Amino acid sequence: MEKVADGVWLLRGDLRKGMNIYFLEDGDGLVQFDAGSIGMAKRARVEAERLGGLKRVVLGHAHADHRGTAPYMGVPVHCHPDEVADAESDASIAPYMDLSQLPVAPIRWLYPFLLRRWDGGAVKVADTVSEGDEVAGFRVIHFPGHAPGLIGLWRESDRVALVSDVVYFVDSARLKPLPEGEASVPHPAWAWDHAEAKESVRKLAALEPRVVAAGHAEPLRGDNLRETLERAAEKY
């Protein structure tokens, strides 16, 4: 696992190691933020045990590639109130996704298969977390748009933001990396509300983070990532 910041560990797995699970040290145990794909479950359990044992899973949002390990970690799962219905649903494709908007035909055809393969199925949500709540020394921030109840975790002291799919560092519509140091708002094909997704990227930019650790690919680092993120809000 990679150390992202003080007390923050990143487990990367599945397709081209593109799926991210974060483990946050919290007193005598750990909080897992985001749950990756089902294929990462065994490794996630081993790593969590090694780091002192898991207390709860907090979902950044409920998409198939972010809830995959959640039912298999043996601890309560929490998410934002606006994400509970999708987390507890059997569907691997959220009702608002419109894959027909993806520009490349083979990738358009591939995604339903990938989403089903990544998914761990319905998650029983034990409790909810909302903007302002504290999670392992971070503050919960609501970033609706890509999903209605998408949340990130923000730590002011070292300006670290864990943001699930608020931004992408990969081109999900073409399944390839973005140029080094670039970010984008996720493609509208996935969005619950694309205009709100852009607004949420601007909300993240205004925090002036130094580390943005997202749901896919390596964290982005810089003295002040505001400009990069403001540009990202305009892509798509």
Q: Where does this chain bind Zn ion (CB under 5 A)? A: 63, 165
Helices (H), the chain: 41-50, 64-67, 84-87, 105-118, 194-206, 226-232
- Shortest Cβ distance from residue 158 to Zn ion (Å)? 26
Nearer to Zn ion (CB atom), residue 26 or residue 60:
60
- Shortest Cβ distance from residue 81 to Zn ion (Å)? 18
Nearer to Zn ion (CB atom), residue 83 or residue 165:
165
Residue with smallest beta-carbon separation from Zn ion: 63
Helix (H) or strand (E) holding 171: strand 170-171
- Shortest Cβ distance from residue 66 to Zn ion (Å)? 6
**31 is written with which tokens?**
């909080």
Nearer to Zn ion (CB atom), residue 148 or residue 209:
148
- Shortest Cβ distance from residue 25 to Zn ion (Å)? 26
Nearer to Zn ion (CB atom), residue 3 or residue 176:
176
Torsion of CA 43, 13, 85, 137, to 10 degrees: 80
Nearer to Zn ion (CB atom), residue 119 or residue 165:
165
Distance CA 186, CA 190 (A): 7
Nearer to Zn ion (CB atom), residue 26 or residue 84:
84
Give the 3-state secondary structure of residue 38.
helix
- Shortest Cβ distance from residue 4 to Zn ion (Å)? 20
Count CB neighbours of 62 within 10 A: 29
Burial class (CB in 10 A: 0-12, 13-18, 19+), 107: middle
- Shortest Cβ distance from residue 165 to Zn ion (Å)? 4
Length of the chain: 236
Sign for the pseudo-dihedral over CA of 104, 105, 106, 112: positive
